[in-house]
Amino acid sequence: QVQLVESGGGLVQAGGSLALSCAASGSTVTTYTMGWFRQAPGKEREFVAASRYPGGHTYYGDSVKGRFTISRDNAKNTVSLQMNSLKPEDTGIYYCASGRPILSEIRSSRAYYYWGQGTQVAVSS
C-alpha cells in the first residue's frame, strides 16, 4: 500500500509560480510511475505530468508543456511539480498519483493505483 500526501498549493497571481510536493510512504517512488493530475470545478480530471518507471522519462499535458516540470527526489521519496507562468485556467485541485501504467495509458487516470487527497491551486487574473 502506498500513501501519498500533497502539499504546496495556494493562491497566486497569473504569471507567478508554485511548487507542489508529493510525499510517498509505504513504498518508494523509484519503483512506480508518478503522475500529477488536476481537476477544475465541473470538469473531468486532467493529466498534467508524469515521470515514468522505469527510465524516468517525463510526459506533460499539452496545456502545461514548457511551463511545468515534474521531478523526483529519490532520497526524500518525493515527487515535485514546479509550475511557472501560471494562468487562471491552471486553477484546480492537483492530485499526486502512482501506478505502473503502460506507456499508452500514462495519461489516463484509470491507470494509476494510488492517489493523494489533493491540494488546491488558485490562480487569479
Whole-number pLDDT of residue 27: 76
- ∠ CA 26-56-101, nearest 5°, is 65
Q: Are strands 112-115 and 46-51 parallel, antiparallel or unpaired?
A: unpaired
Q: Which of 54, 92, 48, 52 is nearest to 67 (CA)?
A: 48
Whole-angstrom CA distances from 29 to 64, 65, 77, 84 are 23, 23, 6, 24
Whole-number pLDDT of residue 55: 86
Q: 72-109: per-residue pLDDT in tens? A: 998 898 999 999 999 999 999 999 999 999 999 999 99
**Does residue 31 sit in helix, strand or coil?**
helix
**Does residue 16 sit in helix, strand or coil?**
coil
Q: Tell me which residue has cell 499508452.
A: 104
**Does residue 119 sit in helix, strand or coil?**
strand
Whole-number pLDDT of residue 70: 98
- Nine cell digits for residue 85: 507562468
Q: 36-74: per-residue pLDDT in tens? A: 999 999 999 999 999 998 888 999 999 999 999 999 998
Q: Which of 108, 111, 94, 113 is nearest to 19 (CA)?
A: 94
